[in-house]
Amino acid sequence: MNEQDLRDCFAMFAMVGLMMSNRDWEAEDPYKIADKMVEARNKEPEEENGIAAFKPKRKYAKKNYV
């Protein structure tokens, strides 16, 4: 999927969302939203710290079921 197709797809979903919201909107609004979505998609990822590791409080013994 090229950039233009992706923009059109984003605009389609934005238009559906605007139609469902029962607000007044202009014909250019879905493409404005789509442009912001493409911009956010192409943005370089910021340094992420991630989710802290979970460490259990107790250790469980591995049981052998033979």
Domain ranges of the chain: 3-42
Which pLDDT belongs to residue 36? Answer: 95
Whether 31 and 7 have beta carbons less than 8 Å apart is answered as yes
Question: Which residue ranges of the chain lie beneath pLDDT 50?
Answer: none
Q: How far is CA 40 from CA 25, 29, 53, in A?
A: 22, 17, 28
CA angle in degrees (0–180, nearest 5) for 49-39-12: 120
Please report, in angstroms and rounded to a whole number, the separation of the first and last CA atoms in the chain: 52
Within 1-66, where are the H helices? 3-20, 29-42
Which pLDDT belongs to residue 58? Answer: 72
Which pLDDT belongs to residue 3? Answer: 87
Whole-angstrom distance, CA of residue 46 vs CA of residue 63: 43
